[in-house]
Amino acid sequence: MSDAPGRTVIENCAIATVDAHGTEYARGHLVLAGDRIESLGAGAAPEGLAGVVRRIDAEGHLATPGLVNTHHHFYQFLTRGLATDHNLFDWLTALYPTWARIDEAMCRAGALGSLAMMARGGCTTAMDHHYIHPRGAGDLSGAIIQAARETGVRFTLARGSMDRGESDGGLPPDFAVESLEGALAATEETVDRHHDASFGAMTQIAVAPCSPFSVSTELLTQSAELARRKGVRMHTHGSETVEEETWCRELFGMGPTDYFESTGWLGADVWMAHCVHMNDADLAAFARTGTGVAHCPSSNARLAAGIARVPDMLAAGIPVGLGVDGTASNEAGELHTELRGAVLVNRLGPHREAALTARQALRLGTYGGAQVLGRAAEIGSLEPGKLADLVLWRLDTLAHASIADPVAALVLGAPAPVTASFVGGRQLVADGRLTTVDEDEIAASTRSEARRLAEIAGE
């Protein structure tokens, strides 16, 4: 391939490919050509490569696939640090009146803040489950998608919806929910306008009613039909708390998993957030149907939801990725810290020290995330022909220098600095700073919009 465009050569780094064999190189190289990984391996890059426009000496670094975030709520960046001692239902009740006041400018600021925090920490593919659409708030989906384009992160918008307001026994205020017909029409329009099904797409759309306790059975059922008619993926919250289990049994006469299956919401095109309270039959149903899971350890701990059975899910062959979740329940807003969190939280469960290894955690945050987003053929591992979405983590500073195993250093050590991050061969981070957007401007914007939201909500 001597005519390959603009080769970038990265050398002298440790490499964790996260491929099917878990291939690693103690000292190796990568060659990027255009938006793809052309080659990689042990030792130095081949001599005589044509069209090399850049060489990076990555001594002291670990190269991994870019991290893939599988669950988030960007708008919550504006309500961090509130209701810090609440369980899920009390937390939702406390914050919904504020969230119901968001508008387009707020969504843009929250999206930029959320994306910037993740991108500067090694996340190259993000998703946003945006389910709150107050009347007259503007083009919220468009604002979020534009923020992702500006940041340069590969992106899935899970176009969410709610049609069960307070008057119907739901938690959100009535003016913050849509009608059944309105939600379906707006979701289909978002798919038609923004979804790109091609290899290497930067923007994709999923159909994503919020949760069993905020949407009607009709919205769940018809959303599944819409998604499958359009050929897009499906996402929702599931089995997050004990209270949700009780609520489903009282209202529907069955647990969340059986309810989801009755509405068409299990399948290889579906992934659900949390899945904390699942019995053996629930896990078997997910395994049988190929339904995926977004594991959010920090948020689950923050809201005292419990410990998801991730080791059992992996043993059953269930696809599992990692999620930040909304920054109103994970104020850090970073995905790379969830690698460590996944190991530590799951070791508090019944499997104890055998629950998750450092390498399993890295796989959750990369290839596992690619699986649940339906993009494992494109991203999630470092292999020739895949998209050049990768990160160089610096591991030779005081924080990590005495840890011989680079993967253990990355996962179990302090948050590692990101020297470089690439999406489709385009560099998004240089020496820990974003190259595509101004972090200081975003900080000022999020602070301003958070204050404006608080003032409006307090009126």
- The pLDDT tens digits of the residues spanning 352-409 come to 999 999 999 999 999 999 999 999 999 999 999 999 999 999 999 999 999 999 999 9
User: Of 319, 270, 323, whose CA–CA distance to 299 is shortest?
Assistant: 323
Q: Give one DSSP letter per residue of 33-60, joined into a string.
A: ETTEEEEEEESSPPTT-TTEEEEEE-TT
- In angstroms, the CA 437 to CA 259 distance is 43
pLDDT at residue number 1: 34
Q: Which residues have C-beta within 8 Å of that of residue 378, sequence separation ≥ 6?
A: 199, 200, 370, 386, 387
Instruction: Report the Cα–Cα distance between both ends of the chain, in Å, rounded.
Output: 63
Q: Is the pTM of this model over 0.85?
A: yes
The SS3 assignment for 166 reads helix
Angle between helices 88-99 and 242-252 (to 10 degrees): 80
Contact call for residues 292 and 272 (beta carbons, < 8 A): yes
pLDDT at residue number 5: 65
Q: Which residues of the chain have a pLDDT value below 70?
A: 1-5
Summarised one tens digit per residue, pLDDT across range 88-112 is 889 988 999 999 999 999 999 999 9
pLDDT at residue number 2: 38
